Amino acid sequence: MKTETPKGRQIREQILRLTEEYYHTEHIKAPYKDGDTINYGGRIYDEKELLNLVNSSLDFWLTTGPWTEKFEADFCNFLGIQHCSVVNSGSSANLLAFMALTSPKLKNRRILPNDEVITVAAGFPTTVTPIIQYGAVPIFVDITLPTYNIDVDMLEAALSSKTKAVMIAHTLGNPFDIKAIKDFCNSHNLWLIEDNCDTLGAKYFLNGKWQYTGTFGDIATSSFYPPHHITMGEGGAVYTNSSELYRIVNSLRDWGRDCWCPSGHDNTCNCRFAQQFGELPLGYDHKYVYSHFGYNLKATDMQAAIGCAQLEKLPAFIEERRKNWQYLADNLKTREDYFILPEATGNSIPSWFGFMLTIKKDAPFTRDDIVRHLENNKIQTRTLFAGNIIKHPCFDEMRSTQTGYKTIGTLLNTDLVMQNSFWVGVYPGMNQAKLDKIIRILLTAAKVE
Ligand SMILES: Cc1ncc(COP(=O)(O)O)c(C=O)c1O
């Protein structure tokens, strides 16, 4: 990627040889033995990630650069989508995806403050946060079990003349009912933002073909935080088939600028000093013209370099996740008297993030009993993130004044999930011994073994 002297090349090769040796000396984990912690997720990597990281650090590009361009191109290629912008987290990706739809460039389709956005309360906070931060109004509807996704029967009731968008996540690797959501959005001219942070690689069958989640809506997001399907440490992506939204996302990501030159490049448009913007003098340097009130949410090239190595492993990671999920499903199905087991959404092939369990109301034990027993046996568990975001302290003020959000119908399933659900890992770091232990401890905790 970088032109270097023969001596420099030689030193680089030496460093890379040593890096590989270091990986094999320091990074290979001892095989799992009973009593070790069973994580719910984590980074899975080999020497290739380390080599890319060291390689990019020697290039010393630091900011978004050649590795980022490669990652974006490879990611688009994998998903079959036209544009991808790497950012520094999945939360930043959600912020950008949402804020892109508030751009004045979208004229009367832009989301304005006080407009309404249909979403769910069961999930990760930063799917909802950008709506509130901007001053739009989240309209919460319930989810359905056992897919843990939005209850599409509530959509029409949630609609008003102020509705501009649906912004929801595919829950824990399981696609939402894309057909119903797409039909709803199309018939009411609404934007669809897919939070694909936990579901990279899931597929859905629509209009006679299989397509990856994240390619159905107007814009979609991914997270590359360590437990996710692939990691950059910190990192995320916003992707879309719309050239217009892509340009807006990049503008907002890069300080709000109008110029689209990549970092380290000037005058890509060939008219850097020849245009008229706002009330600026004619020919004001395009590099410093701001068409949005933006942020700086770029990632570094070193993060992208790690992502490039991870992306090559993604198909195998997805398969591992499916296999592990299926093993848990097969071995726990005898206990459907006490547990609600997860189910794939119709017409989908999920790319599971975790294995969700909900304790039935009449079971002779509580979630607390089970989770404590698992954790005491060093098996990590997680809730469905916020459970019900409205119940959190960040909502205290809005809840007490009943302003800034609305709830349509009851959120009975959302509350059930908040009280009775938890999940365990299916990530590629699992193996049969770990899965067997999860099953055994779970069943003894439920006093059914
Ligand atoms: C559904 C969902 N959206 C967004 C995020 C935020 O991603 P990040 O942690 O990279 O900010 C997460 C994090 O796990 C998530 O689960």
User: How many CA atoms, within 13 angstroms, populate the side-chain half-sphere of residue 195?
Assistant: 30
pLDDT (0 to 100) of residue 262: 84
* DSSP per-residue string spanning 43-63: ----HHHHHHHHHHHHHT--S
pLDDT (0 to 100) of residue 448: 62
**Spatial distance between the Cα atoms of 166 and 169, rounded to a whole number of angstroms:** 10
Of 170, 228, 292, 373, which is the active-site residue? 228
Please state the pTM of the whole predicted model. Answer: 0.97
- Ligand 1: atom nearest CA of 225 is 10
Q: Is residue 37 part of a domain?
A: no
**Spatial distance between the Cα atoms of 252 and 290, rounded to a whole number of angstroms:** 9
CATH code of the domain in which 121 resides: 3.40.640.10
The neighbour count for residue 206, using CB atoms within 10 Å, is 14
Which of 303, 336, 371 is where one domain is finished? 303
CA 385 to ligand 1 centroid distance, Å? 9
pLDDT (0 to 100) of residue 351: 99
**Spatial distance between the Cα atoms of 356 and 146, rounded to a whole number of angstroms:** 9
**Spatial distance between the Cα atoms of 274 and 283, rounded to a whole number of angstroms:** 4
Nearest Cα to 55, choosing from 22, 86, 17, 84? 17
Which two tokens mark 45?
A: 């990597």
pLDDT (0 to 100) of residue 263: 79
Phi, psi (rounded to 5 degrees) for 255: 70, 0
Which of 284, 303, 322 is where one domain is finished? 303
Owner of token pair 């770990």: 434
Ligand 1 site, CB within 6 A: 89-91, 94, 123-124, 126-127, 169, 195, 197-198, 223, 225, 236
Q: Is residue 337 part of a domain?
A: yes
pLDDT (0 to 100) of residue 191: 99
pLDDT (0 to 100) of residue 264: 82
pLDDT (0 to 100) of residue 68: 97
Which of 303, 330, 350 is where one domain is finished? 303
Same domain, 318 and 297: no
228 a catalytic residue? yes
Same domain, 130 and 109: yes
CATH code of the domain in which 405 resides: 3.90.1150.10
User: Per-block average pLDDT, block size 10, for the chain (449 residues)?
Assistant: 87 98 96 97 98 97 95 98 98 99 98 98 98 98 98 98 98 98 98 98 98 98 98 98 98 96 86 96 96 98 98 98 98 94 98 98 94 97 98 98 98 98 98 98 80
User: Measuring CA to CA, how many Å separate 144 from each of 152, 180, 340, 342, 416?
Assistant: 9, 14, 12, 11, 11
Q: Is residue 220 part of a domain?
A: yes
Residues 6+ apart with CB under 8 A from 197: 90, 93, 94, 124, 169, 221, 222, 223, 228, 236
Nearest Cα to 93, choosing from 236, 265, 294, 291? 236
**Spatial distance between the Cα atoms of 428 and 447, rounded to a whole number of angstroms:** 29
